[in-house]
Amino acid sequence: MSGTSTTTPRLEIRSGPAPQKAGSFAEDVRAGLTARSKHLFSKYFYDELGSALFDAITVLPEYYLTRAETQILRECGWEMVRALGNPIEFIELGSGSAVKTRILIEEALRVQRSLRYSPIDISGEALRASAQSLVAAYPGLTVTAYAGDYFDVLGTAQLRREGRVLAMFMGSNIGNYEPQDAARVLRGIAASLKPGDGLLLGTDLKKDPRVLELAYDDPTGVTAAFNKNLLARINRDLDGTFDLRAFGHVAHYDSRRGAVFSYLEAKRAQKVRVGKLDLDLRFDRGERIHTESSYKYSPQDIERIAKEAGMRLLQSWTDMPHERFRVNLLVK
């Protein structure tokens, strides 16, 4: 044994309060595909293949979001970890790429000797792997990871926190929520924070429709595969008969609503069966299934949504000189 021993484990994985309702994928697919306007929820993109395809998206030249956010953290992360005073502890919702989180962890450990990092993610496997490599890399770090839906976890009192919290909701994940839902989500986060706590919110900026549509419909077809994987997942998990070649990927930026809307479009009229749901569907030629909304936030939009959540926008950082993305610090 080494001379230094510790009684506190630096890594703990807790499972969230409400394990995800089994069968919710099936029920959501039934409801979405029998609705007058067909839709599927984007949260179902991220099975094993979908998560791998998303990782590929983040290195596409056209998908600038991840690189822009990483640049902002590299250049301005030192300010973010100091802005609330120190020490702080981190709570991350939907722990994104370890690369981005590591930047902020390293910056925080420059101004305080120890740091608690509490990632919350639906995937317990991903949490365990990243938590283990983080505690191995940073001796001052304690990881308390929560496997579960982040709103279930945030809503319960069991979330361990001692000092001032800097919560993080990065990667433009807020953009997947319809505006009313986004406001509700931020109010929910705010409710779990104490006065003086902060929230780092990564948001994509409104911009030229051509830039946005290329980001969501890359010429290599990775994003198309990411979208079509939803149908592959229905085939795999629910005994579906979708012919993936009979659907096209469509991404359209609606500048009035400020969002890229993604769809799967039937290339011809066709019938599809979903065996496990005992469901027979028909598609007209050109009929669309809405699969994702990716809302873009102007600086004024961020001010408004912060106010609606009962928080104030303390500071924002952007990627210079392009100004494509923003990381915002909201304070309760």
Binding residues (CB under 6 A) for ligand AVJ: these are: 57, 65, 171-173, 175-176, 216, 223, 292, 294
How near is the Cβ of 10 to ligand AVJ at its closest, in Å?
29
Q: Is the Cβ of residue 138 or residue 317 nearer to ligand AVJ in the bound state? A: 317
Contacts of 223 (CB under 8 A, 6+ apart): 57, 60, 63, 216, 217, 249, 251
Q: At what angle do helices 24-34 and 222-238 cross, to 10 degrees?
A: 110
In the complex, the smallest distance separating the C-beta of residue 287 from ligand AVJ, rounded to whole angstroms, is 21
Beta carbon nearer to ligand AVJ, 172 or 192: 172
Distance in Å, CB of 45 to ligand AVJ, minimum: 7
Residue count of the chain: 332
* 109, 115 contact by CB (below 8 A): yes
Tokens 């779990």 belong to 192
Q: Smallest distance from the beta carbon of 71 to ligand AVJ, in angstroms?
A: 16
- In whole angstroms, the minimum distance from the beta carbon of 65 to ligand AVJ comes to 6
Cα dihedral value 21, 183, 34, 18, nearest 10: 0
> Smallest distance, Å, CB 35 to ligand AVJ?
21
Among residues 208, 147, 163, 199, which one has the least CA distance to residue 309? 199
How far is the C-alpha of 289 from the C-alpha of 31, rounded, in Å? 12
Which DSSP state fits 286? T
H-run or E-run covering 329: strand 325-331
* Rounded distance between C-alpha atoms, residue 332 and residue 327, angstroms: 16
Residue 95 or 223 having the CB closest to ligand AVJ: 223
Smallest distance from the beta carbon of 107 to ligand AVJ, in angstroms?
Answer: 23
Amino acid identity of 12?
A: E
Of 38, 55, 37, nearest to 46 (Cα)? 55
